[in-house]
Structure 1
Amino acid sequence: MFTNRKLALVAALLATLSWHSITYAAEKLVITGSSTIAPLAAEIGKRFEKQNPDVRVDVQSGGSSRGVNDARNGLANIGMASRALKAEENDLKSFTIALDGIGVILHKDNPVKTLTDQQVIDIYTGKITNWKEVGGKDARITVVNKAEGRSTLELFLHHYKLKNSDIKPQVVIGDNQQGIKTVAGNPGAIGYVSVGTAEFESGNGTPIKLLPMNGVAATVENVRNGSFPLSRPLNLVTKTAPQGLAKRFIDFASSKEVYDIVEAQYFVPLAR
């Protein structure tokens, strides 16, 4: 039978175990934002967890704007932004962990091999609506655009000197995978996504192709050597100078220890 003393010891032991459980659960790092960076951050997070068994890394996508806002408002320990910070965001700290490019994609069966900047502008603003106008088949063009808050959209607009209100899309998508699936499922579609993601998908049988830009092939290698005209940094963002667990993760994500993960995701690791 349990005496009062034994019951007290059991209660104390359970309280201790409960406290340890709470302590363990508290070692959680929340990272939100860019859907381009999210798969990369998730893989880096898995390796970080293996080296730090008492830590759990929770990665959530939603766009670069979410990453910036969540970091600023304390809703995430770290935000993800697949672009440089804007002037009005210079109160935040950013840390580049890799580089990426943005490329225009078509279905692989589309015979069009290249488009000038002006042709891309005319397609996206509704002045060109049929592929035969740019040397393709007699088929309607399906314009696929990115949703507001996506850094890919902002960079695309900046490069082509457009406003989002200028664009006449038939489909509006969120992350890169949605864009790739939409174009892969529609031979008449045109979209724009991460070069690294698109190169990986096309290399693994997804029926899409990347178009060159200004005569430069849209490849990870050309992003690496600086010749591709539309590239961007992949950044981790914090409200203040990172400390503790957030600093340890950012240092790890910026180190040579994860270069193989960066390259496996078809991004460009930083030269050190």
Structure 2
Amino acid sequence: MKTTMPFNLLKTRLSGLLVASLLLGACSRDGETNQTTASGSGNAGSATSITIKGSDTVLPLAQQQAERYMAKNPDASITVVGGGTGVGLAAMQEGTTDLAMASRGLKTEEKLKLKAAKIDVQEVLIAYDALSIIVHPNNKVNQLTREQLEGIFTGKIANWKEVGGADEKIVAYSRETSSGTYEFFKEHVMDKKNYANGILMMPATGSIVQSVSQTPGAIGYIGLAYETKQVKSLKVSYDQGKTFVAPSMEAAKDKSYPISRPLYFFYDATVAGRVKSFVDYILSAEGQKTVQETGYIPLG
């Protein structure tokens, strides 16, 4: 299923002094440069300010939720910045973000660091996501097994002819190590094996989409919500080639598509009073409707 993100023109009013507008499009999905600041028309003195940072997978969803929440709560101001799950969690530990977006759970070492910093971490499951394997549209290959994907990203399979394609070198793209998607793919698709040295690490999911769309021999992995007509998603088999399933919201919901994962917000309990209303909105029926409309899988 192809999903087109409904990014609207946001009008930003900060403290009644600054008015700026920005268009959230495909080009605004890349890492740290992708920042949304929105606030309503309420009095600056009563405004609630929330900062959200982290996973590029969660980023488009958080932007849409922030926009719609702002429309209902004119006294609030929300800033959303990408950069990767690791970046968001580090910012939470440093106290520079209220909510950390994550496309994976906390690692043991992260839990220990947060405990040492006396941070009472709260975890909120907000949605699910399917991970799409994408190639250039002209690639003849339409499906791959988990074992073949493991071989490609560990470097054991280097030519498309080895998996039924043309005699062409495989160019594999991955997220960088700070990304929760990088960690999830390594654990659940590569069976915890190491990436090949020649893998091209990209700073943001949007960069993978762009690179794969421009490189005939390319392959990469992205969140379902990032799919575009410029790339082709592959069917995947987790039963040694007996059954191949294409990524879609329906297949992720009924768990027939094997590469799906939970998405989270993490926050320090000390900011609960500031973020609770926004978190409750995301978990509400209206918020979960936005989850589905934005290309993710709702909780219910």
The alignment's TM-score, normalised by the length of structure 2, stands at 0.76
Partner SS, residue 53 of structure 1: coil
Matches within 5 A, 1:1-272: 23=45, 27-90=48-111, 91-159=120-188, 160-164=190-194, 166-198=195-227, 201=228, 205-214=229-238, 215-240=244-269, 243-271=272-300
Q: Which whole-Å CA distance do the structure 1 matches of 2:133 and 2:237 have between them?
A: 8
Q: Which whole-Å CA distance do the structure 2 matches of 1:116 and 1:210 have between them?
A: 10
The alignment's TM-score, normalised by the length of structure 1, stands at 0.83
1:60/1:145 CA distance change after superposition, 3 Å: same
Which segment drifts farther, 149-158 or 235-244?
235-244
> Shift of the alpha carbon at 1:211?
2.9
Q: Which whole-Å CA distance do the structure 2 matches of 1:213 and 1:265 have between them?
A: 26
More strand by share: 2
> Shift of the alpha carbon at 1:241?
6.5
Q: Structure 1: 5+ residue runs without aligned partners?
A: 1-16
> Shift of the alpha carbon at 1:190?
0.7
Give the partner amino acid of 1:106.
Answer: V
Give the partner amino acid of 1:196.
Answer: A
Q: Which whole-Å CA distance do the structure 2 matches of 1:153 and 1:213 have between them?
A: 20
More helix by share: 1
Q: Which whole-Å CA distance do the structure 2 matches of 1:239 and 1:167 have between them?
A: 36
CA RMSD in angstroms comes to: 2.1
The size of the alignment, in residue pairs, is: 247
Give the partner amino acid of 1:23.
Answer: G
> Shift of the alpha carbon at 1:21?
6.7
> Shift of the alpha carbon at 1:80?
0.4
Partner SS, residue 225 of structure 2: helix
Partner SS, residue 295 of structure 2: coil
Contact 1:143 / 1:170 at 8 angstroms: preserved in 2? yes
> Shift of the alpha carbon at 1:197?
2.3
Q: Structure 2: 5+ residue runs without aligned partners?
A: 1-15, 18-41, 112-119, 239-243
Contact 1:93 / 1:241 at 8 angstroms: preserved in 2? no
Identity of aligned residues (%): 33
Contact 1:124 / 1:169 at 8 angstroms: preserved in 2? no
Q: Which whole-Å CA distance do the structure 1 matches of 2:169 and 2:67 have between them?
A: 44
1:88-144 residue CA offsets vs partner (Å, 9 max, x unmatched): 445521111110021221112111122222222222222221111211111111111
